[in-house]
Amino acid sequence: MPLSTFGFNAFQQTGDKSQLTVVTKHCHSYVKHVLFASWETTIVLDDQDQVIVWGFQPSWFYKVEEQSKNKQIHAIFGDPNKLLGIVDSKGFVSTVTEQETRANVCLADTVVYCSHLDSMFVLFDGAVQQYIGDTVRTVMRNVYQICGSNTHVLFSTANGVYGLGSNRTSQLGVDFDNHQEVTDPVLIDLFCGLGKITDMACGRFHSAVVVEGDVYTFGWHKDGRLGRDDMDLIGLAMFQIDGESIEVNAVQVVCGSLHTLVLDDAGQMDMVSWAAQVK
């Protein structure tokens, strides 16, 4: 199946080589998998299993392609301005920066990079370790899932959800006045005993947690990204069609910078954007 790209293209990050800032639909027939996407850079795997970069590419990006050779690449993560990480099919993580390349740094089930903390968080065998340069510390144990943005990270455990990092817009689900910056995981009380947590996601300024089909959001309310019009710290996202409220049994959630997408159990994609719905 071809990959379709469209939208903001100032860096040619859609793979369209035109000089247009915004492009309409462009199809790529040779793309096998999207490995990484940010607002200025896209990295894909072609049908020959070669890594291809579209858009913004610092001078050190050639190292990413070098580290990807002769490997089956599972994912790429990070920040194109600071660090990119490569996860191969065996779970080995390699990192590339302007200053250095580190091959097979660790094994990971899941890994996220938080540029605000200049840290890589690695979940492997239930334990989360934080890598800051050559320094490694164990942050939490008995963790089921982690997710993160460039400002904060969330951890799901049997006890509930914990957050770490910037809380300047209450994206950690705790009161902004008391916790603007969190260096050790803080528990989000609301999720204790609430039900089974099945998915989580972090945007730059907000977060979402799926509990038994319900989507709870918290963080910056601006632009309707929380999917609700109340000002509660944490609340349920609401869904509507033609102005009518509908029930959604969510199975997966993804947060962008200004929006939230929810996949329900019927295979439908629902966009959380309360501001757009009420205008």
In the chain, % of residues over pLDDT 70: 96
CB contact set of 37 (below 8 Å; sequence gap of 6+): 13, 43
CB atoms within 10 A of CB 96: 24
The per-residue DSSP string of 162-173 comes to EEEEE-TTSTTS
For residue range 101-147, list pLDDT tens digits in order.
999 999 999 999 999 999 999 999 999 999 998 899 999 999 999 99
Distances (CA, A) of 44 to 14, 34, 81, 148, 235: 11, 4, 18, 21, 36
Measured CA to CA, the distance from residue 156 to residue 74 in angstroms comes to 23
C-alpha span between 75 and 43 (Å, rounded)? 10
Domain contains 138: no
- Which domain, by its residues, includes 243? 169-279
Average pLDDT over residues 231-237: 94
Q: What is the pTM of this model?
A: 0.90
Give the distance, in angstroms, between the CA of residue 95 and the centroid of all CA atoms in the same chain: 18
What pLDDT sits at residue 179?
80
What share of the chain has pLDDT > 90, as a percent?
Answer: 76
Q: In this structure, is residue 111 part of a structural domain?
A: no
Identify whether 161 is part of a domain: no
Q: What is the chain's mean pLDDT, rounded? A: 91
pLDDT bin (cut points 50, 70, 90) of residue 243 is confident
Helix or strand holding residue 124 (H, E):
strand 119-124
Q: What is the pLDDT of residues 80-98, one digit of tens each?
A: 999 999 999 999 999 999 9
Q: How many separate domains does the chain show?
A: 1
Q: Is residue 53, in this structure, part of any structural domain at all?
A: no
